[in-house]
Chains A and B, each alone.
Chain A
């Protein structure tokens, strides 16, 4: 469990241009342990680009990203994930031919050292807190291609949370979720905050999260502006 009051993620002056168009302009952001940060902004304002840069999926940025005070440099995405910085995707990336149970297990085991992973049997048992938290038991045997969009988003988030990484960047985790699934997801996010994780959520319309967030930012014109939680 991560200690409180230690800045887990620090982004300093992140700038990203596509050709001559600046998408991110000197964006700085700090995520502390045990906090929930909500990031909003119009479509195309660069929220996903920011997450891509922070998590190493896009390394063509200027500026610095630090994890627990250590500069990440050009560490690629998988390296950052193994360090403890995971993310989900706006359009969920699920594994078409793997079952939901396998997704959760992969969250836990994918980061194993390659050599060791070949000497470890895959097995089938899925025992993870996240399965009960998000009520995934009925879906465990369902293959990725047979999931609805909302179910894909839940599985995407479950997979990321199963890693146990202390910094979690969730890209629209509540999209297409309603009723009890939505409530479960909100509760899971809140529980992570209480447990000392640093959670960043990108959402347009999430009053239940915005109200309790520790920080609320809006990305507009490439700059990050602080807003007060409602």
Chain B
């Protein structure tokens, strides 16, 4: 049981960082952006390309990757999605378009890197510390700590700070927020940048820990959506809680049911959480 818990916490920590990024973006856009996961994968591959294929120091490759992928995320969340909404595209259209974008980027990466999975971590396997029957490497411990700290910080920022309240306001009603004098574009931009950086950062951290392949983007998009919806009552930072819950569920299926059904568990989670979250209340929406 202990090793299951440790495994769940370790994988949950990466899920948490990615999901936090998605949750922030989702709080404002309300779009199930399936393309969110490409930020994770692109950051990892970009860092690999710079650090490994071009031999740059991580002090250069990591910030560069973060900046470039951050810009990509900013473009998607703060430019493309608002423009699409203004043009009148519906949430279903945006969902489909995000899926198409995901497929395209996935295929571009597959072509560019000849479908190779990549790994930037050190070649020697670090032993790590024994914890409750499992093993945790220093990097994994760092990621766990980071996810909890960032989650807690975000929780406080959203609840207590003016910026956090502004993000919530824009998410609830951008027009009203504008009328009340908030700089909606700036808030959307800041939020999108934070979301992108969190996810890109998670991708880079992940590439030092395990192999990345282009199809991971899709899997992490789904993980992010499920985690966000599970933790929804707690606000965007609740995605951290959601991520650990999902990781636990997934790890249980992996160890107790069938290792091959690990991915199926995530998709079952998606289905279940959607049916639960959007089940018809006693008042169906007028339409």
Count contacts between A and B, CB distance < 8 Å: 11
The answer to whether A57 and B284 touch across the interface, beta carbons within 8 angstroms, is: yes
Taken together as a complex, chains A and B put the C-alpha atoms of A52 and B235 apart, in Å, by: 32
Interface positions of A from 55 to 112, Cβ below 8 Å from B: 57-60, 74
Q: Complex Cα distance A74/B283, Å?
A: 11
Whole-angstrom CA separation of A207 from B284 in the bound complex: 35
Mark each residue of chain B from 267 to 284: 1 if its CB lies under 8 Å from any CB of chain A, else 0: 000000000000001111
Within 8 A of A (CB), among B165-185: none
CB B287 to nearest CB in A, in angstroms, measures 9
CA distance A60 to B284 in the complex (A): 10
Complex Cα gap A74–B281 (Å): 12
Give every chain B residue within 8 A of A59 (Cβ-Cβ).
282-283
By a CB distance below 8 angstroms, the chain A residues around B284 are: 57
Nearest CB of B to A78, in Å:
11
Alpha-carbon separation in the docked complex, A126 to B281 (Å): 37
B284 to chain A, nearest CB (A): 7
Cα(A74)–Cα(B286), bound, Å: 18
Central interface residue in B281, B283, B284, B286, by most chain A CB within 10 Å = B283
Contacts of A74 in B (CB 8 A): 282
A166 to B5 CA separation, bound complex (whole angstroms)? 62
CA distance A57 to B286 in the complex (A): 9
Majority secondary structure of chain B interface residues (helix, strand, loop or mixed)? loop
- Measured in the bound complex, the distance between the Cα atoms of B284 and A58 in whole Å is 7
Q: Contact string, B37-57, partner A, CB cutoff 8 A, digits 1/0?
A: 000000000000000000000
CB neighbours of A57 from chain B (8 A): 283-284, 286
A60 and B286 alpha carbons, distance in the complex (Å): 14
CB neighbours (8 Å) of A58 from chain B are 282-283
Q: How far is the CA of A57 from the CA of B283 in the complex (A)?
A: 6
**Nearest Cβ on chain A to B88's Cβ, whole angstroms:** 16
Residue of B nearest to A61 (CB): B282
CB under 8 Å from chain A, chain B span 235-287: 281-284, 286
For A60, list chain B residues within 8 Å (CB). Answer: 281-283
- Least distance between A91 CB and chain B CB atoms (Å): 9
Contacts of B286 in A (CB 8 A): 57
Tell me, in angstroms, the Cα distance from A70 to B283 when the chains sit together.
Answer: 22
The interface residues of chain A lying within 8 Å CB-to-CB of B283 are 57-60
For the complex, what is the distance from the CA of A46 to the CA of B281, rounded to whole Å? 20
Q: How far is the CB of B82 from chain A (nearest CB, A)?
A: 28
- Closest A residue, CB atoms, query B287: A93
Query: CA of A216 to CA of B283 in the docked complex: distance in angstroms?
Result: 28
A155 to chain B, nearest CB (A): 18
Query: How far apart are the CA atoms of A59 and B280 in the complex, in Å?
Result: 11
- Complex: how many Å from CA A59 to CA B282? 5
Cα A57 to Cα B282 with chains together (Å) = 8
Assembled-state Cα–Cα distance A60/B281 (Å) = 8
Expressed in whole angstroms, the minimum distance between the Cβ of A115 and any Cβ of chain B is: 23
> Using an 8 Å CB-CB cutoff, how does the interface string of B13-55 with A read, 1 for contact, 0 for none?
0000000000000000000000000000000000000000000
Once bound together, how far apart are the Cα atoms of A74 and B282, in whole Å? Answer: 9
Q: Considering the chains assembled together, what is the distance between the CA atoms of A58 and B285 in angstroms? A: 10
Please report the C-alpha to C-alpha distance between residue A110 and residue B286 in the assembled complex, in whole angstroms. Answer: 19
Per-position 1/0 for A35-62, Cβ under 8 A of B: 0000000000000000000000111100
Which residue in chain B gives the minimum CB-CB distance to A59? B282
Determine the distance from Cα of A20 to Cα of B281 in the docked complex, in whole angstroms.
18
Chain B, 101-157, CB within 8 A of any chain A CB: none
Q: Which of B201-252 contact A (CB under 8 A)?
A: none
Q: Please, what's the 1-or-0 string for B65-87, where 1 marks a CB less than 8 Å from any CB in chain A?
A: 00000000000000000000000
Chain B min CB distance to A28 (Å): 21
Q: Which residue of A lies closest to B286 (CB)?
A: A57
Chain A residue numbers with a CB within 8 Å of B281 are 60
Supply 11 A–B pairs (Cβ within 8 Å), ascending by A.
A57-B283, A57-B284, A57-B286, A58-B282, A58-B283, A59-B282, A59-B283, A60-B281, A60-B282, A60-B283, A74-B282
Chain A residues at the B interface, C-beta cutoff of 8 Å: 57-60, 74
4 new A-B contacts at CB < 8 Å, known A57-B284, A57-B286, A59-B282:
A58-B283, A59-B283, A60-B283, A74-B282
Which 4 residue pairs across A and B have the least CB separation, nearest first? Answer: A59-B282, A60-B282, A58-B283, A60-B283
